[in-house]
């Protein structure tokens, strides 16, 4: 098997100085919205303690790939950045790669460091073409690792770039703010089905809802992205917030609207969303 640290050596890069970062759905959304520049700005802000860059000179960036048959997670390589500088972010000095939307979202944070990153040209030709085995789901939580210590087997070297495959309805997780920036095939899949979904706020409160319209789950979630509450009274009282979203149940094509609403009520009872969550009815 060919390993990723061997790929680095062929680029004359030192694995001892290199971190591997498998970003979550936020990184996937940043990549889907704007490619290298937007993702580069996203990657320029990182938590301070511990820093995922952890003294490295280089960072190899991956986004989530498909889950393997044995349950292991994968990472799709998108490129390598050189880490040129680091400072405590205070909203003043801007990083080398800038995106107005991401800068605004980070402006008031004081628990992160900012970085000047620079894409290595030698890595860009391989963007979205190398798929590695990252490890079992528990390993995915260790999303930043030293390249010299964690050898990642290369599963596939693709001839052409392609967007990450849709993970499946049961595995899908995202943020409402990122729904419209998902890959086109993902949006098509979400628009093709109706069903019951779950919203979770930062504090952990849950809201169970259903999508019964022609645009399916995507159409319903787009309403939350637009106004922050989707017409729900309790969510409207909380103001325009972002929510983590996942799918509880996909409706079969022959299910009526009333059938889907009955399944929604079932999930509200099962999760206690009325007594302890954000559902009022």
Domain limits of the chain? Answer: 4-157, 173-271
Beta carbons within 10 angstroms of residue 110's beta carbon? 9
> Which tokens go with 238?
């909380």
- pLDDT value at residue 217: 95
- pLDDT value at residue 140: 75
- pLDDT value at residue 259: 95
- pLDDT value at residue 184: 75
From first to last of the 281 residues of the chain, give the pLDDT tens digit.
899 999 999 999 999 999 999 998 778 878 877 789 889 999 999 988 888 998 899 999 998 888 888 888 899 999 999 999 999 998 889 999 998 888 888 888 888 999 999 999 999 999 999 999 999 887 778 899 999 998 999 999 988 776 777 888 888 998 888 887 788 778 888 988 999 999 998 888 899 999 999 889 999 998 888 877 777 777 887 777 788 999 999 998 889 999 999 999 999 999 988 877 888 88
Q: Which residue is associated with the tokens 């790669």? A: 97
> Which tokens go with 174?
């995202």
- Indicate the pTM of the whole model: 0.65
Those residues whose C-beta lies under 8 Å from the C-beta of residue 269, and which sit 6 or more positions away, are none
Could you give the C-alpha distances from 164 to 64, 138, 177, 197, 204, in angstroms and in order? Answer: 8, 21, 19, 22, 29
Those residues whose C-beta lies under 8 Å from the C-beta of residue 97, and which sit 6 or more positions away, are 37, 40, 41, 44, 117
- pLDDT value at residue 172: 92
Going by C-alpha positions, the residue among 142, 141, 3, 4 that lies closest to residue 60 is 4
Spatial distance between the Cα atoms of 121 and 118, rounded to a whole number of angstroms: 9
Could you give the C-alpha distances from 221 to 37, 97, 122, 128, in angstroms and in order? Answer: 27, 30, 39, 28
> Which tokens go with 35?
């490619």
The pairing of beta strand 58-64 with beta strand 73-88: antiparallel
Domain 173-271 CATH (choose: 2.60.120, 3.60.10, 3.40.1130, 3.40.1440): 3.40.1440
241: which DSSP letter? Answer: -
Kind and range of the H or E run holding 39 = helix 25-43
> Which tokens go with 177?
């703010």
Spatial distance between the Cα atoms of 154 and 174, rounded to a whole number of angstroms: 26
Please, are residues 59 and 15 in contact by the beta-carbon 8 Å criterion?
A: no
Could you give the C-alpha distances from 161 to 13, 128, 158, in angstroms and in order? Answer: 23, 5, 7
Please, are residues 121 and 64 in contact by the beta-carbon 8 Å criterion?
A: no
> Which tokens go with 78?
């998108």
Spatial distance between the Cα atoms of 155 and 208, rounded to a whole number of angstroms: 38
Going by C-alpha positions, the residue among 124, 111, 51, 105 that lies closest to residue 83 is 51
């Amino acid at each position: 098997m060919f390993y990723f640290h061997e790929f680095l050596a062929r680029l004359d890069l030192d694995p001892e100085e290199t971190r591997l970062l498998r970003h979550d759905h936020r990184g996937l959304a940043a990549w889907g919205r704007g490619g290298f520049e937007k993702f580069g700005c996203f990657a320029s802000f990182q938590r301070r303690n511990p820093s995922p860059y952890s003294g490295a000179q280089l960072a190899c960036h991956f986004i989530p790939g498909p889950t393997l048959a044995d349950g292991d997670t994968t990472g799709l390589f998108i490129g390598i950045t050189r880490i040129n500088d680091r400072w405590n972010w205070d909203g003043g000095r801007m990083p080398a790669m800038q995106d107005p939307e991401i800068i605004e979202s980070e402006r008031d944070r004081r628990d992160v460091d900012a970085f000047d990153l620079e894409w290595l040209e030698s890595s860009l030709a391989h963007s979205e073409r190398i798929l590695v085995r990252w490890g079992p789901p528990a390993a995915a939580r260790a999303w930043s690792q030293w390249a010299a210590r964690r050898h990642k087997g290369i599963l596939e070297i693709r001839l052409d770039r392609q967007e990450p495959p849709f993970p499946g309805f049961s595995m899908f997780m995202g943020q409402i703010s990122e729904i419209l920036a998902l890959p086109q095939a993902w949006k098509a899949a979400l628009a093709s089905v109706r069903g019951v979904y779950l919203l979770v706020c930062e504090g952990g409160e849950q809201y169970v809802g259903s999508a019964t319209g022609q645009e399916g789950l995507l159409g319903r979630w787009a309403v939350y992205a637009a106004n922050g509450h989707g017409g729900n009274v309790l969510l409207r009282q909380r103001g325009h917030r972002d929510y983590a979203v996942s799918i509880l149940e996909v409706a079969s094509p022959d299910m009526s609207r009333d059938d889907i609403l009955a399944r929604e009520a079932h999930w509200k009872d099962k999760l206690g969303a009325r007594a302890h969550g954000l559902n009022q009815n």
